[in-house]
Amino acid sequence: MPIEEPALGERFEEAFCYAAALHSAQKRRGSDIPYISHLMAVCALVLEQGGDEDQAIAALLHDAVEDQGGKPTLEDIRRRFGARVARLVEGCTDADSIPKPPWRRRKEEYIVHLQSAPPEVRVIVLADKIHNARSVLRDYLALGDKLWQRFQGGKEGTLWYYRTLAETFQKIHSGWAVDELSRIVRKLENAAQS
C-alpha cells in the first residue's frame, strides 16, 4: 500500500514560521493577544472547510500584505510560496498601499471585490471574517460600548460592515461557514441593540 503524502508539508511549516516572524510584534486590536492566534484560527477554519495546502498557507499570510509591507511583501510571498498562494493572499487583501484609503470606501470596494472573487479566495475571507466577528462579539460582551472605540467605523460602521459581509456571503457562497458568519453577526447585532 503506498504511503500518502501529508496534506500539510514543509511549505506549510515554512509559511507558519514566516507568518509568525512577520507578525511577531503585532497584537490583536485592543488586546495583548499575539496576532498569530488570529492567523492560526483562520487557517484552522480554512482547513475545516476543506481547503488545500495553498489555501492554508494563504490563510496564515492573508494579512501580511495589509499589515506588514504592502506590495514588496506580496512579491516575497510569491517568491517563497508560489504564484497561486500570492494570488490567494492578494484576493484577501483590501489595501496594499500606505497610507490605506479611507475606511468606508475601502470596505465598500472590498465587498464588491468579493462578489467576483474565486471560491478558493472566498473560503479564506470567510474564515477571516468568522474569526474577527467572533472576537468582536466576545469583546463586546466583555466591554460593552467601549469596544467600538477600537474600530475606525465605530459602532454603526462596524455593524454595517459585518451585516453586509454576511448578506453578501449568503448570496455568493454556500456551506456551514456562511451560516456560522450570519449567526455570529445576528448575535452581535442583537447584543449591541439591547
Q: Catalytic site residue 180? A: no
Selecting among 66, 94, 128, 180, the annotated active-site residue is 66
Q: Catalytic site residue 66? A: yes
Measure Cα distances from 185 to 12, 95, 123, 181, 191 in Å: 31, 24, 17, 6, 10
C-beta of residue 73 within 8 angstroms of C-beta of residue 64: yes
Measure Cα distances from 160 to 23, 107, 186 in Å: 28, 10, 12
Selecting among 52, 67, 120, 139, the annotated active-site residue is 67
Phi-psi sector, 98: left (phi>0), alpha (psi -120 to 50), beta: beta
Catalytic residues, by residue number, are 66-67
